[in-house]
Amino acid sequence: MTVSQESAPTDPPVPTGPTALGPCRRSVVAAVGAAGIAAALTACGSGDGGGSGPTGDASAAGGGVLAKTSDIPEGGGKIFADQGVVVTQPKKGEFKAFTATCTHQGCKVTKIEGGTIDCPCHGSKFSIEDGSVKHPPATQPLPAKQIKVSGDSISLA
């Protein structure tokens, strides 16, 4: 009589590679590296052409100093692209703030000239006094932002 040995059942092979269990280690490391580079580049750039210090301080979004009152020209203003705000001084000692996003199609305003805040995308212009539309195609004014003037410092409220 011969004795046959049955082989024990084995588990099916486990698939390997990026499609089996999610992305491979190399993909994850590359993605993390790319995210780090993007964060570093974002921190280095500034759309308002300003440098570091009180006028370019990213902490202004949380109530830190945004600018000195002397940084805002009378009859004009300054755009703080990183904070998404425009600060104007329509009359001596009177400071106003508005969103830096055009109400027409969401472009960022880029210039303040001749008493208006100007959008480069379609030519909308807004008053430095109250954000009202001075030139279409925008039909809605720029929403006001709350600021606080304390001494010679301007901060977001």
Phi, psi of 139 (to 5 degrees): -115, -15
Question: Given this model, what pLDDT does residue 3 score?
Answer: 53
Q: Which amino acid is at 150?
A: S
**141 found inside a domain:** yes
Question: Given this model, what pLDDT does residue 41 score?
Answer: 43
Other C-beta atoms closer than 10 Å to the C-beta of 94 total: 11
**65 found inside a domain:** yes
Number of domains the chain contains: 1
Q: Residue 131 and residue 86: Cα distance in Å, rounded?
A: 10
**102 found inside a domain:** yes
Listed in sequence order, the residues at least 6 apart from 146 whose beta carbon sits closer than 8 Å to its beta carbon are: 97, 156, 157
**5 found inside a domain:** no
Question: Given this model, what pLDDT does residue 45 score?
Answer: 43
State which residues form the domain around 75: 54-156
**77 found inside a domain:** yes
The answer to whether the pTM exceeds 0.85 is no
**127 found inside a domain:** yes
Question: Given this model, what pLDDT does residue 100 score?
Answer: 98
**If the chain, 157 residues long, is cut into consecutive pieces of 10 residues, what is the mean pLDDT of each piece?**
54 56 57 53 40 40 83 98 97 97 97 98 98 98 97 95
Are 153 and 68 a contacting pair, CB within 8 Å? yes
**95 found inside a domain:** yes
Q: Residue 129 and residue 39: Cα distance in Å, rounded?
A: 36
Q: In the beta sheet, which residues pair with residue 68?
A: 153
Q: Taking the mean position of all CA atoms in its chain, how far away is CA 13?
A: 49
Question: Given this model, what pLDDT does residue 49 score?
Answer: 37
**30 found inside a domain:** no
Distances (CA, A) of 50 to 33, 55, 56, 104: 28, 7, 6, 26
Are 116 and 134 a contacting pair, CB within 8 Å? yes
Residue whose entry in the numeric block shows the structure tokens 């979004």: 61
| CATH for 114 | 2.102.10.10
Question: Given this model, what pLDDT does residue 22 score?
Answer: 54
